[in-house]
């Protein structure tokens, strides 16, 4: 079991996290999958990787039903839990491609659970349709259709914008953090597109906007308020979150907010999406 755990936990966690959007749920699901295998005669399982992926995905699909109901009663906007690279965090073992980026993870919430399952297995992990069909108990034709539907829901332009921008991203983030800390509204306006959107998640635990904020003028105003009050004097550090650089706010060695962005174009000239997670339950360092 130790060998199985070492060999397959990174893959299973990566699948479960992309499906659930929360670290604790992903870890619990992976643990349950290994416990289920422990009670079986493992030498009778012909393809252990496929079997564990199937167990994990089945648990994700079942859990998503109740998770979506919980989100209906969630206070304010629900955002995924950010995966911060720190010590032996699960992020160290997760495949860090564009499907792990925070903006991409938010986009996945547009999909139905089954569309999400097929899309994640195909796009993030390169499973062929035959393997996916066996994992999700569908035929190959259905899987191809589900993948096509998922692609239509996730517009091509949005997918391109969700990926990392390497050095350009860091430079613009540095400009953003400086403007934010200095409460330079004029500079913030320059960095935002006209139709930018800001989503904050306080979970009812801390003060946050209950609904998305639209237009750069309103966003710049709210960011100024957050800088002046909620994050006054708090250090904002650019560091890896979900496989690419974002801004992590730390006070007294504890993470109190994570700010993730999406650029409007490949040249990373302006930001069109900002996601700020402030719910303490989603910021605990595990």
Express each pLDDT in 64-81 by its tens digit.
988 877 888 899 999 999
- What does the pLDDT average to over 159-163? 59
Query: Residue 173, Cα to own-chain centre: how many angstroms?
Result: 19
Query: Residue 232, Cα to own-chain centre: how many angstroms?
Result: 26
Quote the CA–CA distance of 253 and 258 in Å, as a whole number.
Answer: 14
Express each pLDDT in 197-237 by its tens digit.
999 999 999 888 999 999 999 999 999 998 888 887 788 99
Quote the CA–CA distance of 70 and 225 in Å, as a whole number.
Answer: 30
Evaluate if residue 41 carries a pLDDT over 90: no
Q: How confident is the model at residue 115 (pLDDT cuts 50, 70, 90)?
A: very high
Residues 6+ apart with CB under 8 A from 76: 200, 201, 202, 203, 204, 208, 209, 210, 211
Mean of all residue pLDDT scores within the chain: 88
- What does the pLDDT average to over 163-185? 85
The DSSP output letter for 115 is H
Strand pairing category for 192-201 and 271-277: parallel
Give the range with max mean pLDDT: 71-75, 182-186, 263-267: 182-186
Residue 138: phi and psi, rounded to 5, are -130, 165
- Worst-scoring range by mean pLDDT, 29-38, 84-93, 166-175, 198-207? 84-93
Q: How many CA atoms lie within 13 A of 32 on its CB side?
A: 16
Evaluate if residue 63 carries a pLDDT over 70: yes
Evaluate if residue 87 carries a pLDDT over 80: no
pTM: 0.89
pLDDT at 159: 60
Evaluate if residue 93 carries a pLDDT over 50: no
176, 64, 80: which is closest to 112 by C-alpha?
Answer: 64
71: helix, strand or coil: helix
Quote the CA–CA distance of 26 and 82 in Å, as a whole number.
Answer: 13
Tell me the domains of the chain and their CATH numbers.
2-160 (1.20.140.160), 164-282 (3.10.450.50)
For tokens 């913030």, the residue is 188
pLDDT at 165: 58
Measured from the Cβ of residue 160, the count of other Cβ atoms closer than 10 Å reads: 12
More confident residue, 15 or 1: 15
Which pair of tokens denotes residue 162? 């969700």
């Amino acid at each position: 079991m130790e060998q199985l755990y070492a060999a397959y936990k990174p893959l299973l966690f990566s699948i479960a996290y992309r499906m659930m959007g929360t670290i604790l749920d992903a870890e619990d699901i992976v643990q349950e999958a290994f416990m289920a295998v422990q009670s079986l005669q493992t030498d009778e399982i012909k393809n252990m990787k496929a079997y564990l992926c199937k167990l994990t995905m089945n648990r994700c699909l079942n859990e998503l039903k109740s998770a979506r109901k919980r989100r209906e009663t969630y206070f304010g906007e629900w955002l995924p839990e950010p995966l911060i690279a720190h010590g032996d965090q699960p992020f160290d073992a997760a495949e860090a491609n564009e499907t792990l980026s925070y903006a991409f993870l938010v986009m996945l919430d547009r999909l139905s659970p089954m569309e999400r399952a097929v899309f994640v297995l195909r796009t993030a992990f390169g499973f062929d349709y035959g393997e996916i069909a066996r994992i999700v108990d569908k035929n190959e034709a259905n899987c191809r259709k589900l993948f096509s539907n998922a692609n239509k829901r996730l517009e091509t332009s949005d997918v391109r914008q969700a990926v990392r921008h390497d050095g350009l991203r860091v430079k613009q983030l540095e400009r953003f953090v400086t403007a934010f800390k200095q409460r330079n509204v004029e500079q913030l306006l320059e960095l935002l597109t006209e139709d930018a959107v800001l989503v904050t998640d306080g979970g009812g635990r801390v003060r946050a906007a209950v609904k998305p904020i639209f237009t750069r003028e309103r966003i710049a105003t709210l960011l100024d308020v957050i800088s002046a009050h909620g994050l006054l004097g708090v250090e904002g550090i650019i560091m890896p979150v979900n496989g690419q650089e974002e801004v992590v706010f730390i006070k007294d060695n504890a993470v109190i907010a994570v700010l993730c962005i999406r650029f409007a174009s490949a040249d990373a000239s302006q930001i069109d999406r900002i996601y700020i997670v402030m719910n303490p339950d989603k910021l605990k360092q595990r």
